[in-house]
Amino acid sequence: MQAIIPYPNFSPELFSIEIGGFAFALRWYALAYIAGLLIGWQLIVQALKSPRLWPGEQPPMPPRQVEDLLTWIIIGVILGGRLGFVLLYKPAYYMANPSEILMVWHGGMAFHGGFIGVVVASWLYASKYSIPKWQMADALAMATPAGLMLGRIANFINAELWGRPTNVPWAMIFPTDHLGLPRHPSQLYEAGLEGLLLGSVILWMVWGRKVTRTPGIVAGTFFLGYGLSRFVVEFFRESDPQFYEANPHGYALWVGDFGVSMGQLLSLPMVIIGIFIIVYARSRNSIRP
């Protein structure tokens, strides 16, 4: 018999109350979003309070302005994440059921879509208030990994987005898997790589090496680090069901027995963009008088 680690069967809700016939519940996933945004907010505020971290010891904006920026980012995350899921993962279903597109409480958010939403929202905000865009990008890159880590832990608690079948000793059987197979707890792999490891590296770069003095380096590192982390984890993560309709491996694009999942396909451009940003930032800094 294969050794497995028993899955700690969490409730997806921290608590639920009923008021006037309506049930209100606080779910782990919602708490992860809230906590991630608050932690990111405080990380940016503390960095803005330290002029030595910025070019010419001039922070890109006053700390009090981060609260206003947070509102724009929340809107970008929700709209981008939902539209990304609709367009990238289940376009046919939502074309047939357009009334469900805005039903975010039923689940269905894509990180890459949410990320694009944040980029657009922050770019618009920076343009409106004349904030240096690369410094804004560095600040947001520093703040993001904490939210990623908490979000992946919430995925684990919700027993969703689990990994491929495996016989490793730390495999788990998730209650939401109707096949009842031992699987990789890939949500925890992502929390460790995209969140803890990448976040630790970026915080060390900001506070230990003060690389924010060269605008763009931190943002490029985030793109590169997230793209690589997600690409690696996708080898262990179960693909979405609709991709198994085309081939038994769940690939989105393939040639023969070799292929890449949708997550890997979307992560490769992030790796390329990250490398480009780092090279551009370093060369731009080297030609300054």
Q: For residues 149 and 233, is the Cβ–Cβ distance under 8 A?
A: no
Q: Do residue 146 and residue 276 come from a single domain?
A: yes
- List Cβ neighbours of 76 (8 Å cut-off, separation of 6 or more): 114, 117, 118, 119, 120, 121, 122
Question: Do 144 and 260 sit in the same domain of this protein?
Answer: yes
Query: Helices 66-88 and 111-129 sit at what angle, rounded to 10 degrees?
Result: 140
Please name the helix (run of DSSP H) or strand (run of DSSP E) that holds residue 31, with its range, or none. Answer: helix 28-48
Give me the chain's average pLDDT, please: 88
- Residue 272 neighbours by CB distance under 10 Å: 13
The pair of three-digit structure tokens given for residue 28, joined into one six-digit string:
């782990």
pTM: predicted TM-score of the whole model, two decimal places: 0.86
> What three-state secondary structure class fits 284?
helix
| Position with higher pLDDT, 181 vs 15 | 181
183 versus 84: the higher-pLDDT residue is: 183
Q: How confident is the model at residue 196 (pLDDT cuts 50, 70, 90)?
A: very high
Given pLDDT bands bounded at 50, 70 and 90, which one contains residue 214?
Answer: very high
82 is in an annotated binding site: no
With 70 as the cut, is the pLDDT of residue 271 above it? yes
Find the mean pLDDT for residues 153-170: 92
Q: Are residues 90 and 144 in the same domain?
A: no
The pLDDT of residue 104: 64
Mean pLDDT to the nearest integer, 12-35: 76
User: 279 vs 37, which has greater pLDDT?
Assistant: 279
Q: Give the chain's domain count.
A: 2
Instruction: Note the helical H segments in 98-209.
Output: 111-129, 133-157, 186-190, 198-203
Pair 30, 145 in one domain: yes
pLDDT band for position 289 (cuts 50, 70, 90): very low
Clarify whether residues 242 and 117 are in a common domain. no
Same domain for 196 and 80: no
The whole-number pLDDT of residue 247 equals: 80
Helix axis angle for 28-48 and 133-157, nearest 10°, is 150
Grouping H, G, I as helix, E, B as strand and the rest as coil, residue 237 is: strand
Among candidate residues 131, 153, 174, the one where a domain is terminated = 131
Looking at 80, 108, 131, the residue that finishes a domain is 131
* Cα distance between residue 244 and residue 225, in whole Å: 28
> Quick one: 226 and 144 in the same domain?
yes
Tell me: do 157 and 246 sit in the same domain: yes
Domain membership of residue 105 as a residue range: 61-131
Contacts of 128 (CB under 8 A, 6+ apart): none
Q: Which residues pair with 16 in a beta bridge?
A: 25
Among residues 261, 270, 271, 226, which one has the least CA distance to residue 89? 261
Identify whether the C-beta of residue 109 lies closer than 8 Å to the C-beta of residue 83: no
Residues 127 and 141 reside in one and the same domain: no
* Burial classification of residue 196, based on how many CB atoms lie within 10 Å of its CB (0-12 exposed, 13-18 middle, 19 or more buried): middle
Please state which of the ranges 24-28, 150-154, 241-245, 261-265 shows the lowest mean pLDDT.
Answer: 24-28
**127 and 138: one domain?**
no
132-136, 235-239, 247-251, 283-287: the lowest-pLDDT one: 283-287
Residue position matching structure tokens 């343009």: 127
Task: Tell me the percentage of the chain whose pLDDT exceeds 70.
Answer: 93
Identify whether residues 215 and 188 lie together within a single domain: yes
Both tokens assigned to 147: 């939210």
Lowest mean pLDDT across 1-10, 117-126, 144-153, 205-214: 1-10
